[in-house]
Chains A and B, each alone.
Chain A
Amino acid sequence: MNDRETEQGLRGQAKALLEEGKVNYIIGYEPGSLKFTTTPLITKDKDSVDRLVISPFIVNNLSEYLTELKGRIGIVAKGCDSRSIVSLIQDNQVKREDVVILGVPCSGIIDLSKVEGLVGKDRDEIDDIVWEDSKVTITVAGDRKEFHIGEVLFDNCLGCEFSIPQEYDILLGESSSLVVDKATSREKIETLEAMSQEQRWNFWEKEFSRCIRCYACRNVCPACFCERCFVEESEPQWMAPVPRWQDNLMFQVIRNIHVAGRCTDCGECERACPMNIPLRSLTKEMCDIVDDLYHFKAGMDKETAPLMTHYETTDPEDFIK
């Protein structure tokens, strides 16, 4: 995909939508304040849309903002983000007629922590990251190193099945080939599956011992749209507010079940976690279980009922003993 052309097209469309009064807000990405970082741009101002960008660093799933803004919204959506929007429509959280989806075909997003790991430098010590075809060139102190692009894309991007938005009003740019590496995408999960129950328990004890209950995982998740989360219920109290690892684990397990059939594997929970807890190992596994049991992928069709509000007589019931 030629990002510059897509970007120009996007700015023109966004400006027209605002000028013609078809939307009250545009939600997209603009350059961030740190290297290789973009940041959400939420604006009513037609001149601000000139700041919109498309790049391999547009990490955020912007559909997160749809439920809090009032009015009609023009929103930039990658494949997984568009499925989150559809899922919100299915759940009656967003009306289809209130969103103008500016779809962007996506060939994957670059995971800066993988880049940092490959070159052994922090993001701000890296001069340049250039993606061309199937190669990425990373420059550190004038020294250029080439890698296969598959080595630096997010795990969820490597397992992506629907890089072209499933639902859109305007499709910007052309789709280009997707780098798929299902093995790497599921590697962490496979490792967990190979463990004994005790090893897995010890693994999650260690991981959730780091959790500080900042709730970034929940707050960046478009599927977590509850006005009041169970974890904050105090009468009666469902969960202890203290970040004890067992409580942290329980919080995440319940959150996972709540987003089953809604999670589109956008990977935002894991990316947002400041404590590097591999949350996608839970959410992706949940997505796969949902697919296996119910042949259901989240956010594919806005006319379909949400998974957990609906049943078929053929649904599996072997869990009832």
Chain B
Amino acid sequence: MAGSKKISKEDVAELLNEWNQEFDLFIPSKDEDVAKLAKWDGKDTSFLDWYRNTVVPPKANFLPSMEEMFHFQKDKEGYHIELPSSNGQKQLIFGIRPCDANAMAILDKTFEDAYEDPYYLSKRKNTVLVGLGCTKPYDSCFCTSLGSSPTDSTNVDLMLTDIGDWFLVEAITDAGKELVAKAGSLIGRATKADETRAKEAREAAHSKATRHLDTKDIDNKLLASFEAQDFWEEIAAKCVSCGVCTLLCPTCYCFDISDELVRDRGARFRSWDSCSFPVYTKMPEENPREEKWRRVRNKVYHKYEFYPINFEVIACTGCGRCIRQCPVNWDITQTLEKMQAKAQS
């Protein structure tokens, strides 16, 4: 931990203004009580008091809920396609939680490793993540069951840990080091006592994440339940097939593509889609997941079975949004526990 730094909470606004000169800077904000990332307004740091996590996950800054892919115009020669203009502006997300930073690494598997998605990557490669460790995980949080913790710094560039009136600051990547350099004298040296306090804060936060799910070898255990239709019908019974859990999931990435055409000009958009919707897999003659239990099963298996097979990582970070936001309290940790109990019986 040698060389760690610190910043006073009182100086955060000044720090953000400093960084704001180079970046489009986003902070947690409330829009009618719905927490989401919003552009830094130059002064309001009240989120430091209320912020636990956003309702809308940071994936929205990389895969927006709607995005123009290109626009087109038709004339005698055919279609002329133009890409949307990109401002190429660098983006800084301040206060991303460890679970959501981990989610970005999970999304990279799809949008960078499986294929290169230019829309996603142009934003992702232009973004630095400043992580803020949790001090008050929700009762729905279970990040510690997925190899992470409320203060995990693995997938951020710069990590902040709350130590009272100050944040301990650790540069994790070169981009993080550059941010520290740009902060000048706002970020100073941390003392040994600060580091001890940070260690205590990490341990305290970890102990507050009390929801636990046994994920050891979970993908293999799940295989046994795939064909158990009765089990899945029971599990799925109360699901209302809305898109809350998937659209607000930081690792769900499905999108729909649609064209809008008025006379000879139009545009192609992509927008968030959800495998919970019955029409998601509807084809002209059939729908392989018309029944609700098949859709619920798919959602669980995509995260805990197919993603591990394809990318060697579970596509769930334990952020708990799907549990907190579900209108009928369908709880994925309960389903996974029941599945594992079933595998052992």
A contact residues vs B (CB 8 Å cutoff) = 32-35, 37-43, 60, 64-65, 68, 113, 122, 124-125, 206-207, 210, 212-216, 218-220, 228, 232, 237, 240-244, 268, 271-272, 274-276
B258 at the interface (CB under 8 A from A): yes
Task: Report the interface size class on chain B.
Answer: 35 or more
Mask, B223-266, CB within 8 Å of A = 1, is 00000000000100110111110011000000010101000000
Residue of B nearest to A125 (CB): B136
The answer to whether A32 and B31 have CB atoms under 8 Å apart is: no
CB distance from A28 to the nearest CB of B (A): 11
- CB contacts under 8 Å to A, within B288-345, are 292, 323-325, 327-331, 333-334
CB distance from B317 to the nearest CB of A (A): 18
The answer to whether B243 and A216 have CB atoms under 8 Å apart is: yes
Which of B33, B65, B66, B258 interacts with A276 by CB under 8 Å?
A: B33
The answer to whether B324 and A243 have CB atoms under 8 Å apart is: no
The answer to whether A39 and B329 have CB atoms under 8 Å apart is: yes
Q: Pick 8 A–B contacts, CB within 8 A, sort by A.
A: A212-B248, A213-B271, A215-B242, A220-B240, A242-B66, A243-B65, A244-B66, A274-B325
Tell me which of B12-20, B101-109, B113-121, B272-280 binds A: B272-280
B83 at the interface (CB under 8 A from A): no
The answer to whether A60 and B328 have CB atoms under 8 Å apart is: yes
The answer to whether A271 and B329 have CB atoms under 8 Å apart is: no
Known interface pairs A33-B334, A272-B327, A274-B325; A219-B279 also in contact (CB < 8 Å): no
Contact partners of B279 in chain A: CB under 8 A = 228, 232
Residue of A nearest to B136 (CB): A125
The answer to whether A274 and B260 have CB atoms under 8 Å apart is: no
Known interface pairs A37-B329, A214-B243; A122-B32 also in contact (CB < 8 Å): no
Beyond A39-B330, A64-B240, A272-B242, list 16 extra A-B contacts (CB 8 Å).
Answer: A33-B323, A33-B329, A34-B329, A124-B139, A124-B140, A125-B136, A212-B243, A212-B248, A215-B242, A219-B241, A228-B279, A240-B258, A241-B271, A242-B271, A274-B248, A275-B55
The answer to whether B241 and A214 have CB atoms under 8 Å apart is: no
Contact partners of A215 in chain B: CB under 8 A = 242-243, 277
Q: Please report the C-alpha to C-alpha distance between residue A37 and residue B327 in the assembled complex, in whole angstroms.
A: 10
CB distance from A226 to the nearest CB of B (A): 12
Contact partners of B9 in chain A: CB under 8 A = none
Contact partners of A242 in chain B: CB under 8 A = 66, 258, 269, 271
Q: Please report the C-alpha to C-alpha distance between residue A65 and residue B272 in the assembled complex, in whole angstroms.
A: 26
Q: Please report the C-alpha to C-alpha distance between residue A242 and residue B270 in the assembled complex, in whole angstroms.
A: 7
B34 at the interface (CB under 8 A from A): yes
Q: Please report the C-alpha to C-alpha distance between residue A113 and residue B248 in the assembled complex, in whole angstroms.
A: 19
Contact partners of A210 in chain B: CB under 8 A = 31-32, 34
Contact partners of B66 in chain A: CB under 8 A = 242-244
Give the top 3 A-B pairs by smallest Cβ distance, nearest first: A272-B327, A214-B243, A39-B329
